[in-house]
Chain A
Amino acid sequence: MGEEAWQLSNPFLGVAAIVATFLLFYLVGYISNRKSKSVTDLYVAGASVGPFTNGLAMASTYMSLATFLGITALILQLQVPFIMLWIQLILAIPLITIIYGTSLRRMGAFSPTHFVRERYGISASIIAALFMILVSIMYALGQMIGIALAFETVLGIPYLTGLIVGGLIIVGYITIGGMAGASNNAAIQMVIIALMFIIPLGAIMKAIGGSGWFFPPLLYADMVPAMLEAMPNFFDYQYSTKWYVSLIALTIGSLGLPHLAMRIYTASSLRSARSAMVWFAFVIGLVFSATYAMGFVGVYATETQGITISQADADKLTIILNLVYNPEWVSALVIAAAISAGLSTLSGNLLAIGALLSQDIITTLKPNIPERKRVRLGYAAIFMGGVVSILLAINPPAFLVVSILWAFGLAGVTIAPLILVGVWWKEANRFGAMASSLVGGALYIIVSPFVFPGIVMTGHSVTDGMGLSGAMLAIPISFILLIVVSYITNRMPMFQARLSTKADHELIERIHGWKEVNPARYNSTVGAAITVVFFTAIAIWAAMPWNM
């Protein structure tokens, strides 16, 4: 089978599947919203939603188009190392829950910027909000590329036309208030996405002779001998230990993502949030394992079945496998599910941009601005965020996952240290926070290949593009600056008047569940010193040659 243009021969099937999926989500959103008595009720829908539904909603919020299209493309490109990279992304919600989610919930903060404002003051929160807007735009960019590819495949139109048509339809849909954030919708979406991914995968495995088609996520061992024969290095780790250490930067990055911590807040209680974390781990483990299987099957098909997939089509691997091995209507459903996965994440990203700009920046700077004007600004920000991500997607990075993982790294550099240290160390202050996110963020952007292609750390395009090497250097620097600058400025009399030390100490005790302030708690200088020494070692290691 030669190289070809992969598209549905009957575009109406694809359009019908997309319209039907949109209608279903809209209907569920409408019914869920009708039950809500007030805006607050709608927002904290978790009050009436059990941990299972919330766990599914967490998984749906976290999963994006990357799960459908991006991961498999990079398994095709990098093989097993990329699977190792993706595995640890499951840690996001469990680590958020145990490290700071429950504390933020006690505080009543529903977003990381809210916490940063209470903990470090207005200036630090505006800096954090600006970085979060950039994080959300880069995250949205990955979704936009995937949506353009999906429309390209459905309608058989060029990428650019797919991008503009698909992008504007979806941005318009989100701006006028589609996908109103009901947890029920996210949960149902998760079930549909999982089914439309795993069942067609089983059919593909059956078609190429796999005997474990009835449980695709784990039962494909019978294909391993043929894979080893056709591609002996598929299972090789390829890279040094340093590369695998740099993956932890993504884990830290996921702790700073704007839209994840919110799901802990929407749970009805701390107990319920913890139970939701358990369901999240089970469901996301299932879906992630299925994507590794899809990637494996994709490589298997290209190596043993004569399917040729050009570099430009790598992101379409999942759709291509369906087009080759499944009936067209199945491919149409898979594309519709992929678009809806992108839609839910894109909606989260764009709504976050709207909230960050209207609430965290404009309202903070101009508190007297009329409510109506603020709402309008929010809508304008949502739309503009969408348009910017469409414009960036005109000349996209080679793989859609690259921009998403780069966004993880930026969140890890600019937001995560502020939250992690801020929750667990009373001495962290606003000067440390601002130095940390400004210097760390600037460093991360400078060494990324998107701004100055000549200043990169490894020269390995995917490693630099995904932000792995940049984050391994910039995250430690952010932690070090936050701790050292806070420690020094706390001891300089000239800064005392501008610090809110007493209020900070009370806040930290309260979010951990204490009513009284005890100076011995959450105040360890030894712990801070160990953190600085550890991260200094990591930063030096990151700055040394990578030899890739």
Chain B
Amino acid sequence: MNAYKKEVRFTVIMSALFLAAGNVGLFFSIFPVEGMLFGFPIMYIVPILSGWFGIFVLTLIASRMGNRIDEEIEEASELETLERKQKGA
């Protein structure tokens, strides 16, 4: 897959995952769940945990992948410039 497609796919999927992790309450409003976890109602504590640790884990992944995609774009961009110069020559 080329770097551009990777960049677009990464941004779309990562944004969707962030939105999902930060809006677990929305999912519970559609599919309510009974029961307790760690002494709290599941529908209370899971959104809070996901809104903290879930987002934290996603930022770790996003940070690593973002850096890698930057490198790939840089390489692909150099290659593209080189190809254009060769074609032009």
A interface residues, Cβ below 8 angstroms from B: 80, 83-84, 87-88, 90-91, 94-95, 97-99, 102, 218, 221-222, 224, 235, 237, 239-241, 243-245, 247-248, 251, 270-271, 274-275, 277-278, 280-282, 285-286, 288-289, 292, 424, 512-516, 518, 521
Contact of B81 among A95, A292, A516 (CB under 8 A): A516
Given A83-B44, A244-B26, A281-B59, 7 more pairs with CB closer than 8 A: A91-B55, A244-B29, A282-B56, A289-B52, A424-B11, A514-B77, A515-B78
- The CA-CA distance from A288 to B54 in the complex, in Å, is 14
The binding surface of chain B is classed by DSSP as helix
Structural contact, A288 and B77, CB atoms closer than 8 A: no
Residues of chain B contacted by A83 (CB below 8 angstroms): 44, 47-48
Take A87-B47, A237-B32 as given contacts and tell me if A251 and B22 are in contact as well, using a CB distance cutoff of 8 Å. Answer: yes
Give B28-58 as 1s and 0s: 1 = Cβ < 8 Å from A's Cβ atoms: 1110100000111101100110011101101
What 8 A-B pairs are tightest by C-beta distance, nearest first? A221-B39, A285-B52, A84-B25, A87-B51, A88-B22, A274-B63, A244-B26, A513-B73
Q: Do the beta carbons of A515 and B80 come within 8 Å of each other?
A: yes
Bound complex: CA of A281 vs CA of B84, how far in Å?
Answer: 42
- A98 in contact with B23 (CB, 8 Å): no
B51 touches A274 (CB 8 A): no
Nearest CB of chain B from residue A216's CB, rounded to whole Å: 13
Instruction: Decide: A95 and B84 in contact? CB cutoff 8 A.
Output: no
**Other-chain residue from B15, B19, B55, B78 in contact with A281 (beta carbon distance below 8 A):** B55
Q: How far is the CA of A62 from the CA of B62 in the complex (A)?
A: 20
Given contacts A513-B73, A516-B84, A518-B80, are A95 and B18 in contact (CB under 8 A)? yes
User: A298 to chain B: closest CB distance in Å?
Assistant: 16
Residues of B within 8 A of A (CB): 4, 7-8, 10-11, 14-15, 18-19, 22-26, 28-30, 32, 38-41, 43-44, 47-48, 51-53, 55-56, 58-60, 62-63, 66-67, 70, 73-74, 77-78, 80-81, 84
Residue B26 contacts which of A94, A247, A424, A512 (CB distance < 8 angstroms)?
A: A247
Interface pair A91/B47, CB less than 8 Å apart: no
Q: Which residues of B contact A94 (CB under 8 A)?
A: 18, 55, 58-59, 62
Question: Which DSSP category, helix, strand, loop or mixed, fits chain A's interface?
Answer: helix
Using known A-B contacts A98-B15, A237-B29, A515-B81, determine if residue A278 contacts B60 with beta carbons closer than 8 Å: yes
**29 CB < 8 A contacts A-B:** A83-B44, A87-B51, A88-B19, A88-B22, A90-B52, A94-B58, A94-B59, A95-B18, A97-B62, A99-B15, A102-B70, A222-B39, A237-B29, A239-B29, A244-B25, A245-B26, A248-B23, A277-B62, A278-B56, A281-B58, A286-B52, A288-B51, A512-B7, A512-B73, A513-B74, A514-B80, A516-B77, A516-B80, A518-B80
Neighbouring B residues of A98 by C-beta, 8 Å: 10-11, 14-15, 18, 62, 66
Residues of chain A within 8 A of B62, CB atoms compared: 94, 97-98, 274, 277
Residues of B within 8 A of A245 (CB): 26
